[in-house]
Amino acid sequence: MTDATPDPATLNLDPYWMPFTHNRYFKQHRPLDRLLVGAEGAYYTTSQGQTLFDGLSGLWCCGLGHRDRRIVEAVKNQLDVADYYPAFQVASPDSFRLAERIAKHAPGDLDHVFFTNSGSEAVDTALKIALAYHRLRGEASRTRFIGRERGYHGVGFGGISVGGMVANRKMFAPAMLNGVDHLPHTHNLSQMAFSQGMPEWGAHLADELERIVALHDASTIAAVIVEPMQGSVGVIIPPIGYLQKLREICTKHGILLIFDEVITGFGRMGDWFGAQAFGVTPDLITFAKGVNNGTVPMGGVIASKPIYDAFMTGPDYAVEFFHGYTYSAHALAVAAAHATLDILGSDDVPNRFTALGTLLADGVHSLRGEPNVIDIRNYAGAAAVELAPLPGKPGLRAIRLFEDALKRGLLVRFTGDTIALAPPVISTEAEIHRLVDTMREAIRAVA
């Protein structure tokens, strides 16, 4: 520990308002095993010198593991050339090359990329694109958005408006977008508990979109936005045929379909995007996290050619879309993304996630029958174990498991009473076995 490094035991925790964290609990208990000071491969190191296996690849973003030398060198090399390029009216050639590379791997005719800095910004950007697209086509009445219950689309006002997680919405209701409706979620334990892969039950839930269209009239609806696989709410896998039905209904009524692929993009689902993994092509895709392995903040929207072309009107010297960010296509983020795409291709990462997923599925489903386990879900490189809540104290059992797992050297993510798992693709067979064994021990410890 250097002189410039504060002693964790005396560290002043008060000034930092931690995101999505129980601040009072954290600062009262001062959990030193939650102070991270290093990362390498599939592990974090705590301030106490303990190593933690990274059971969720950071926050779904470090699927290649931490500090891959190829990404580290790419960022270092970029710093030797330039630290920042403006994004308005000028651009780095590397930004154009990155957009081309991402478009190459996107499904269908999604071939134009607008860069943002996060998934939240990507979602708000996609919503603005959808609104403006219909207006440019002479259908300005299309202003409604359709989200889904339990959906997570970031924390911008647009994202929480179309999102369906109550805790994220209830304080901000007066400022949310008007004209937003929600599809029912697809999580039904009575019909699909312990499904392996895509549940067989539930495709009919997409038909609810027809009811919403009949209620509001298609001429008022701009877009439907869903996650192909709902990650943040606890790995909810789409039923077989569900996404295809949404696509058909949107096409029938001239409604844009947006896939929020902030979690599912860049390999985790066993293909470059969840759209390809589930066999459905949307009109817009939002991405972030895995695009550069979480190294430097980056996100974006991939738009189809017809959508892009709709904006290319008026004088050629005029700005077509009044939107953007100071850090769009930041030089360091772009460098990290190029290196990440190199690795995704050269190391056959999507297929490796499929293989990892088979191992993970066998492991997590062996937890069926353990105390208080009421559901287990999985698809490719993602899985979840849902626990029965403690009476009158929802979420507390998962917090206790999270804390117990930390003591055993495993970092997981909890949402409600669900434990989400998404280990890095570099995880070995022994590490996956140990992850499952640790989960079993922790489940029993908090029973």
Per-residue pLDDT for 386 more than 60? yes
- CA 233/CA 227 separation, integer angstroms: 11
Other beta carbons within 10 angstroms of residue 387's beta carbon come to 24
Question: Tens of pLDDT along 125-174?
Answer: 999 999 999 999 999 999 999 999 999 999 999 999 999 999 999 999 99
Is residue 106's pLDDT more than 70? yes
* Short-list 283, 303, 160, CA closest to 224: 283
Q: Per-residue pLDDT averaged across 203-231, rounded?
A: 98
By C-alpha distance, which of 293, 238, 231 is closest to 261?
231
pLDDT at residue number 8: 81
Over residues 282-293, mean pLDDT: 98
293 CB contacts (<8 Å, ≥6 apart)?
A: 61, 62, 63, 64, 68, 71, 336, 340, 343
Q: What are the pLDDT digits (tens) for 326-361?
A: 999 999 999 999 999 999 999 999 999 999 999 999
Mean pLDDT score, 5-31: 91
Domains of the chain: 23-60+348-445 (3.90.1150.10), 72-346 (3.40.640.10)
Q: How confident is the model at residue 1 (pLDDT cuts 50, 70, 90)?
A: very low
pLDDT, tens digit, 9 for 90 and up, residues 174-196: 999 999 999 999 999 999 999 99
For residue 173 the two structure tokens come to: 């209701």
Q: Which residues pair with 221 in a beta bridge?
A: 144
Distances (CA, A) of 48 to 56, 173, 424: 21, 42, 23
Amino acid 9: pLDDT: 82
Q: Could you read off the pLDDT of 35-53 as tens digits, one per residue? A: 999 999 999 999 999 999 9
